[in-house]
Amino acid sequence: MTDQAATVRPDRRAELAAGLARVRARIADACAAAGRNRAEVTMIAVTKTYPAGDVLALAGLGVTDMGENRDQEAAPKAAEVAAAGVGVRWHFVGQLQRNKARSVVRYADVVHSVDSVRLARALDAAATAGRDRTLDALVQVSIDGDPARGGALPDSTDPDRGLEPVADALAGAAGLRLAGLMAVAPLGWEPERAFARLAEVAARLRQRHPRATALSAGMSGDLEQAIAHGATHVRVGSALLGMRPTLR
Ligand SMILES: *Cc1c(COP(=O)(O)O)cnc(C)c1O
DSSP helix/strand/coil, 108: coil
Instruction: Look at residues 160, 146, 179 and name the one whose alpha carbon lies nearest to residue 116.
Output: 160
Three-state SS letters, 128-168:
HHHCCCCEEEEEEECCCCCCCCCCEECCCCCCCCEHHHHHH
Report the C-alpha gap between 203 and 217 in whole angstroms: 14
- Mutating to test ligand 1, I would choose from 195, 219, 243 the residue with most ligand atoms within 8 A of its C-beta, which is 219
Report the sign of the C-alpha dihedral through residues 123, 200, 198, 145, in that order. Answer: positive
Gap from CA of 49 to ligand 1 centroid (Å): 11
Q: Look at residue 7 and tell me if it is in a domain.
A: yes
Q: How large is the C-alpha radius of gyration of the chain?
A: 18
Report the C-alpha gap between 57 and 14 in whole angstroms: 10
Say what percent of the chain tops pLDDT 90: 92
In sequence order, the 6+-apart residues with CB closer than 8 A to the CB of 209 are 167, 171, 178
Gap from CA of 219 to ligand 1 centroid (Å): 6
Q: Is the CB of 49 under 6 A from ligand 1?
A: no
Instruction: Look at residues 73, 91, 70, 90 and name the one whose alpha carbon lies nearest to residue 82.
Output: 90
Report the C-alpha gap between 223 and 5 in whole angstroms: 32
Q: Look at residue 87 and tell me if it is in a domain.
A: yes
> Using one digit for the tens of pLDDT, what is the confidence trace for 107-144?
999 999 999 999 999 999 999 999 999 999 999 999 99
Whichever domain contains 155, its CATH number is 3.20.20.10
pLDDT of 238 strictly over 80: yes
Q: Look at residue 72 and tell me if it is in a domain.
A: yes
Across the strands, what pairs with 135?
A: 176
Q: Look at residue 248 and tell me if it is in a domain.
A: no
Cα separations in angstroms, 83 against 46, 60, 90: 20, 15, 15
Q: Look at residue 28 and tell me if it is in a domain.
A: yes
Q: Look at residue 129 and tell me if it is in a domain.
A: yes
pLDDT (0 to 100) of residue 126: 98
Instruction: Name the band, by pLDDT with cuts 50, 70 and 90, for residue 2.
Output: very low
Nearest CA owner, ligand 1 atom 6: 237
Report the C-alpha gap between 108 and 146 in whole angstroms: 28
What is the number of domains present in the chain? 1
Report the C-alpha gap between 182 and 161 in whole angstroms: 15
Mean pLDDT across the stretch 145-149?
84
H-helix segments, 162-237: 163-171, 191-208, 223-228
> Using one digit for the tens of pLDDT, what is the confidence trace for 167-209?
999 999 999 999 999 999 999 999 999 999 999 999 999 999 9
Asked if 139 and 114 count as a contact pair (C-beta separation under 8 A), the reply is yes
Report the C-alpha gap between 137 and 166 in whole angstroms: 11
pLDDT (0 to 100) of residue 43: 98
What range does the domain containing 154 cover? 3-241
Q: Across the chain, what does the average pLDDT equal? A: 95
- Mutating to test ligand 1, I would choose from 43, 46, 90, 233 the residue with most ligand atoms within 8 A of its C-beta, which is 46
DSSP helix/strand/coil, 243: coil
Q: Is the CB of 197 under 6 A from ligand 1?
A: no
Ligand 1 atom with the smallest distance to the CA of 48 is 1
Q: Look at residue 246 and tell me if it is in a domain.
A: no
pLDDT of 23 strictly over 70: yes
Gap from CA of 182 to ligand 1 centroid (Å): 12
Q: Look at residue 115 and tell me if it is in a domain.
A: yes
In sequence order, the 6+-apart residues with CB closer than 8 A to the CB of 195 are 183, 185, 217, 218, 222, 225, 226, 228, 229, 231
Asked if 50 and 73 count as a contact pair (C-beta separation under 8 A), the reply is no
